[in-house]
């Protein structure tokens, strides 16, 4: 059954006029970004012992004793998941698979992994921020700031789960503390780059409403279905020549209306991509 589905997806992939990829958290975890288990222990054993966090992401919202400790956690979290090499070459394999195709990628992932794997921004739209960027925590303006140098210093100078106070970043305009440019509440800033990327995406889907379009979901769960899942279902439903495909370790699914035009594979994305190349 697995082989039949992968071969079917391969065939649709090869014959598609356009491939629109929607990438969610499952793709990042397939590429080795596991936020729990051994990796959590390896990088955050000290914090886990003190605060008992169950995964790296929710750990960000722990009730840290001091601000310096909070930034020690945050900088370590962002550094290992955003700047250190991606654990596996899943994104590179995907890029190889898409080579020579007409394609576009929409992602909710914040790890910049597509760009780091060599995807050109002309093919990309990232919707929920990037933890490689800072913004004003109570946005007084809409610029974002590269945080590589600041985080590198924090990670290097962290001692006893605490960063030096003077490294905590402040807004150059209003002096408030900075925050990551992440869609974790309504203070999220959509900067110039965000708007340009969204225009690229809306132009692309507008130009590919018809024809053999493959809507390919990779690791998209139900956390924010309004960004990828539901729009993909709707667009596929409106185009009788389109196919919807979903690859995910957990709960890949399709709506009834797409029953005869869906391919759903419950498996590790990295493994499936390897078999599609
Ligand atoms: Zn400000």
Calculate how far, in angstroms, residue 147's C-alpha sits from the geometric centre of ligand 1.
Answer: 16
Query: Could you tell me the pTM of the whole model?
Result: 0.94
Model pLDDT for residues 139-148, shown as the tens digit of each residue: 999 999 999 9
- pLDDT tens, position by position, 82-107: 999 999 999 999 999 999 999 999 99
Cα 178 to middle of ligand 1, angstroms: 8
Ordered strands of the 145-146 beta sheet: 145-146, 129-136, 178-182
Residue 142 CA to ligand 1 centre (angstroms): 9
Cβ < 5 A residues, ion ligand 1: 136, 140, 171, 173-174, 176
Nearest to 64 by CA among 163, 203, 139, 192: 163
The rounded Å distance from CA 51 to ligand 1 centre is: 30
Whether the pLDDT of residue 69 is over 90: the answer is yes
Q: Is 253 annotated as a binding residue?
A: no
Could you report the predicted ipTM of this complex, rounded to two decimals? 0.99
More reliable by pLDDT, 63 or 223: 63
- The pLDDT, as a whole number, for residue 184 is 84
Long-range contacts of 139-145 (CB under 8 A, 24+ apart): 139/187, 139/189, 140/171, 140/173, 140/174, 140/176, 141/173, 142/189, 142/190, 142/191, 142/192, 143/189, 143/191, 144/181, 144/189, 144/191, 144/193, 145/169, 145/172, 145/178
- At 223 the pLDDT is 84
pLDDT band at 251 (very low <50, low <70, confident <90, very high): confident
Distance 30 CA to ligand 1 centre (A): 36
């Amino acid at each position: 059954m697995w082989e039949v589905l992968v071969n079917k997806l391969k065939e649709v992939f090869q014959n598609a006029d356009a491939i629109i990829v929607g990438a969610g958290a499952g793709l990042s975890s397939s590429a080795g970004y596991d936020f729990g288990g051994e990796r959590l222990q390896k990088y955050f054993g000290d914090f886990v012992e003190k605060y008992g966090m169950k995964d790296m992401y929710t750990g960000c919202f722990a009730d840290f004793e001091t601000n310096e400790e909070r930034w020690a956690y945050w900088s370590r979290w962002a550094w290992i998941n955003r700047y250190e090499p991606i654990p596996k070459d899943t994104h590179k394999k995907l890029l190889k698979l898409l080579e020579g195709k007409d394609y576009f990628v929409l992602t909710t992932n914040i790890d910049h992994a597509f760009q780091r794997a060599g995807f050109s921004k002309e093919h990309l739209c990232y919707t929920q921020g990037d933890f490689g960027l800072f913004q004003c925590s109570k946005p007084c303006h809409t610029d974002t700031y590269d945080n590589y140098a600041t985080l590198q210093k924090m990670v290097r100078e962290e001692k006893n789960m605490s960063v030096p106070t003077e490294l905590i970043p402040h807004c150059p305009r209003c002096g408030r503390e900075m925050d990551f440019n992440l869609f974790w509440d309504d203070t999220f800033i959509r900067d110039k780059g965000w708007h340009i990327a969204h225009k690229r995406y809306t132009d692309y889907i507008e130009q590919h409403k018809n024809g053999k379009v493959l809507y390919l979901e990779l690791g998209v769960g139900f956390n924010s279905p309004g960004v990828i899942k539901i729009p993909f279902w709707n667009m596929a439903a409106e185009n009788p020549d389109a196919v919807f495909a979903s690859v995910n370790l957990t709960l890949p699914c399709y709506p009834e209306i797409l029953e005869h035009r869906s391919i759903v594979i419950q498996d590790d994305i990295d493994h499936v991509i390897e078999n599609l190349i």
